[in-house]
Amino acid sequence: MGTHSADEGNRSTTDLQLIDCDVHQMWAHPDEVVQYLPDHWTGRGIDVPTTPWPSPVGLMRDDAGPDSGAPAGSDPDMMCEQHIEPYDIEYVVLNATGMLTLGVTPNEHYAAALASAQNDWLVEHWLETADCFKGGLVVAPQAPHRAAEEIERLGDHPDIVQVQMASVGRTPYGRREHWPIYEAAAKYDLPIALHIGPEGMGTSPPHTPAGYPSSYFERHALTNTSLMGQLTSMLLGGVFEEFGTDLVLIEGGFAWLPYLRWRLDKDWRGLRDQTPWIDRRPSEYISEHVRVTTQPLPEPDDPDHLRYMFEMIDARETVLFASDYPHWDADDPRLAFPPLEDDLERRIFRENAAELYGL
């Protein structure tokens, strides 16, 4: 759990109004999801790439698994008791553990079927069991037309608040082959959410052109690169301009955003002949359409550096609180943040998410 310097932070829960934009639910057993698959796909459980970077600390909080031995995050009641009620969280946005690598599965037909099964499970086992649960509709980016059909199928469910895709698919997300997804998402006014995880797995190239990182530590530091690539592709490809799409970048940090905002703005002056469909400076699109989640929150020695960072990236509009419960490095909203101006704190902890998701 993230903690900031000892003499700062330490909010009481009653100070905070919270929407948690990244909580991971899990099935107790794969059959919970497999039951929704067409028969011809049911033989092998759920077969998507799993991480080849073992973590020395595991991936989940040891205390977050039910006594039954089922995975952490698989019991809605326990999630409420352990996380949602103690922090008095108004809504959590569920992003399913176990489906983050669906986008790098080579078989796009299987990926699309699995996404639909996952969404049926999400609706029945989670969204319809408590008012605080909101969910991301999982789609397979490597099958764009199937993804659009899935959005048509469930996009108007009142508790579906975004379309969730793996942070990497087969090609960068700004390219035209993905536009049916954005057209459907726009019809239902749903943001596109990308969650890091599948970089370097399945059909994905490594995290950087330097090659595959060695350790979980090295890999964990470089999960942001997929988000840099997708943001740049979607912006310069014209997705924000064409569809008014909002893009949520989850768990890949944000302290790289000054680099991209400034570089894109400077290059736009000299190179925009290549993107005549981009009418405004790239940083304006980013402030208007791109949202980033906080966990894992950086903890610079000087808390002012985090405040400068928030200023540089227009955090009053762009930053959303996320805990990443029940992962090992989840952030505690009472401890992780240094003191912030009241208005900025309200924007990050609740209002930016409420506006984005219409809550």
Binding to a copy of itself (CB under 8 A) within 235-294 occurs at: 236-237, 253-256, 258-268, 270-275
Name which of 73 and 174 has its Cβ closer to a copy of itself: 174
**Structure tokens, 295:** 């966990």
Q: Which residues lie closer than 8 Å to 158 by C-beta, 6 or more apart?
A: none
Residue from the set 316, 329, 354, 359 that interacts with a copy of itself by CB under 8 A: 329
Tell me which of 216, 287, 316, 338 binds a copy of itself, using CB under 8 A: 216
Phi-psi region of 174 (alpha: psi -120 to 50; beta: other; left: phi over 0): alpha
DSSP assignment, residue 341? Answer: -
Q: Which residues contact 80 (CB under 8 A, 6 or more apart)?
A: 130, 132
CA-derived radius of gyration, the chain:
19
Query: Quick one: 67 or 301, whose CB is closer to a copy of itself?
Result: 301
Interface pick for a copy of itself out of 204, 294, 323, 352 (rule CB under 8 A): 204
| Residue 49 in tokens | 């790439």
Peptide bond preceding 333: is omega within 30 degrees of 0, i.e. cis? no
Stretch that binds a copy of itself, among 69-77, 125-133, 197-205, 351-359 (CB under 8 A): 197-205
- Nearer to a copy of itself by Cβ, of 44 and 269: the residue is 269
Q: Does residue 208 touch a copy of itself according to CB under 8 A?
A: yes
Out of 10, 86, 217, 355, name the contact with a copy of itself by CB under 8 A: 217
Q: For residue 291, what are the β-bridge partners?
A: 248
Nearest-approach distance from CB 359 to a copy of itself, in angstroms = 29
Judged by CB under 8 A, the number of residues near a copy of itself is: 76
Structure tokens at 67: 């006594």
Q: Are 279 and 241 in contact (CB under 8 A)?
A: yes
Count the Cβ atoms, other than its own, within 10 Å of residue 55. Answer: 15
- Minimum Å gap between C-beta 357 and a copy of itself is 25
Residue ranges in 129-275 assigned as alpha helix (H): 144-154, 179-187, 216-221, 224-237, 239-243, 257-271
CB of 234 to a copy of itself, least distance (A): 10
Taking alpha carbons only, the member of 77, 194, 60 closest to residue 132 is: 77
C-alpha to C-alpha distance for 144 and 129, rounded to whole angstroms: 30
| Least separation in angstroms between CB 77 and a copy of itself | 29
Q: Considering the rule CB under 8 A, would residue 209 count as an interface residue with a copy of itself? A: yes
Smallest gap from Cβ 117 to a copy of itself, in A, equals 26
Binding of a copy of itself at residue 73 (CB under 8 A)? Answer: no
| Residue 311 binds a copy of itself (CB under 8 A) | yes
Contact stretch for a copy of itself (CB under 8 A) within 80-88, 113-121, 209-217, 242-250 = 209-217
